[in-house]
Amino acid sequence: MGDLAVHTKYNMFKKDETLAFLTQLLSINSPTGYTQNATAFLQETLEEIGYETVKTPKGNIMVHVDGKDASITRGLSAHIDTLGLMVRSINSDGTLALTKLGGPLTPTLDGEYCDVITRDGKVYTGTILSNTPSIHVFKDASTKERDIDNLVVKIDERVKNKEDVKKLGIQNGDIIAYDPKVVVTESGFIKSRFLDDKASVSVLVNILRTLKEEKIEPATNLVFIFSTYEEVGHGAAWIPEEITELLAVDMGCIGLDLECTEFDVSICAKDSSGPYDYAMTTHLIEMAKEQDLNYAVDIYPMYGSDASAALGGGANIRAALIGPGVASSHGMERTHIDALENTYKLIKAYIQ
């Protein structure tokens, strides 16, 4: 009875550990191109679990796991980089003009708090605002388009002009990271920016924890890839040549004619890069049915993944894409713990 109880305990989805890691990871700024603090936290976590990590020259983190069949190596990827902004230039009034890192939904950024991170490590707080921010002053305050050219950062320092800002050490090309605003509700909803793709990073870390604690030997060798430039299209453009099959674990989209919800694991049949491997996708669907998971099969025409990048980079692989359903992608995102659990269970079935 005791052995059964232990096995049942470790076979369960580790909700508390997953949420604890996810909320910590979400709190670490990691706009694409500035991920070193998040990858250091990830490496520390994985090494505490008992894994050796490898950091590629580009900054991707990899973990190798030996399996029963060493002649086959499968890859699983998730990306640790997020959307963000960069200082394009310093305006004459001391505000900062912006350029995008990745594709944030810019109307949702108006009013967000942010950090301005200089090249010498100083961090200044600020607020992202429309350049006509007051209804009492500007006739078009409520109607002006909130695109990147009409948003600025107002720094929380006494600055009146460009020279005042430069004296702080702020210059063109400095990183701007905005507040994720993480909330986990009692009903199981996770509200935060950057669930794309830190939610899936947390799921893969949970899988690695399970493999170690349950002493599970996967069916094949595995390489877990945590990429750092996915949001700009080349996160996993290079993968180890021994990988013949890559499962990208990203996010499922919600809306329009899509079937995915915030409670499901999404299985993507096709995105902007084309269809994913037919047999591999079919196998994932069959496993989702066998595991009695809440899942959805969808097509995402305005979407790309690490698997897309690997295929575009010339990798001779089969590839597929799954992930938890995430609402309001690239804006103020939301998912549910059930979606993470369904994704976890599908991955666990896939690797075993």
CA distance readout (Å), 62 to 78, 229, 328: 11, 14, 29
DSSP for 266-335, written as a single string: EEEEEETTEEPPHHHHHHHHHHHHHTT--EEEEEETT---HHHHHHHTT---EEEEEEEB-BSTTSS-EE
Cβ atoms 76, 224 nearer than 8 A: yes
- Provide mean pLDDT across the span 259-265: 98
Q: Using CA atoms, how far apart are residues 298 and 253, in angstroms rounded to an integer? A: 9
For the cut 60, the answer to whether the pLDDT of residue 150 exceeds it is yes
Cβ atoms 202, 192 nearer than 8 A: no
Name the percent of the chain lying above pLDDT 90.
97
pLDDT for the residue 12: 79
- Residue 49: both structure tokens together: 């679990």
Asked which of 11-20, 142-151, 164-173 is least confident by mean pLDDT, the reply is: 11-20
At residue 306's C-alpha, the angle toward residues 320 and 58, to 5°, is 150
Query: Please, what's the b/e burial string for 109-126 (b: 16 or more CB within 10 A of its CB; e: otherwise)?
Result: beebebbbbbeeeeebeb
Handedness of CA 42, 331, 157, 159 (dihedral sign): positive
Could you say which of 230, 231, 262, 341 is catalytic? 230
Q: Using CA atoms, how far apart are residues 232 and 330, in angstroms rounded to an integer? A: 13
With cut-offs at 50, 70 and 90, classify the pLDDT of residue 3. very low
With cut-offs at 50, 70 and 90, classify the pLDDT of residue 347. very high
pLDDT for the residue 323: 98
For the cut 60, the answer to whether the pLDDT of residue 10 exceeds it is no
pLDDT for the residue 11: 53
For the cut 80, the answer to whether the pLDDT of residue 9 exceeds it is no
pLDDT for the residue 17: 96
For the cut 80, the answer to whether the pLDDT of residue 6 exceeds it is no
Contacts of 110 (CB under 8 A, 6+ apart): 128, 129, 130, 146, 151
The helix/strand count (H/E) of the chain reads as: 8, 18
Its pTM stands at 0.96
Q: Is 230 a catalytic residue?
A: yes
Amino acid 345 reads K
With cut-offs at 50, 70 and 90, classify the pLDDT of residue 4. very low
Tens of pLDDT, residue by residue over 186-232, are 999 999 999 999 999 999 999 999 999 999 999 999 999 999 999 99
Tens of pLDDT, residue by residue over 268-290, are 999 999 999 999 999 999 999 99
- Short-list 265, 281, 277, 282, CA closest to 311: 277
- Provide mean pLDDT across the span 239-261: 97
For the cut 90, the answer to whether the pLDDT of residue 265 exceeds it is yes
For the cut 80, the answer to whether the pLDDT of residue 351 exceeds it is yes
For the cut 50, the answer to whether the pLDDT of residue 8 exceeds it is no
pLDDT for the residue 90: 98
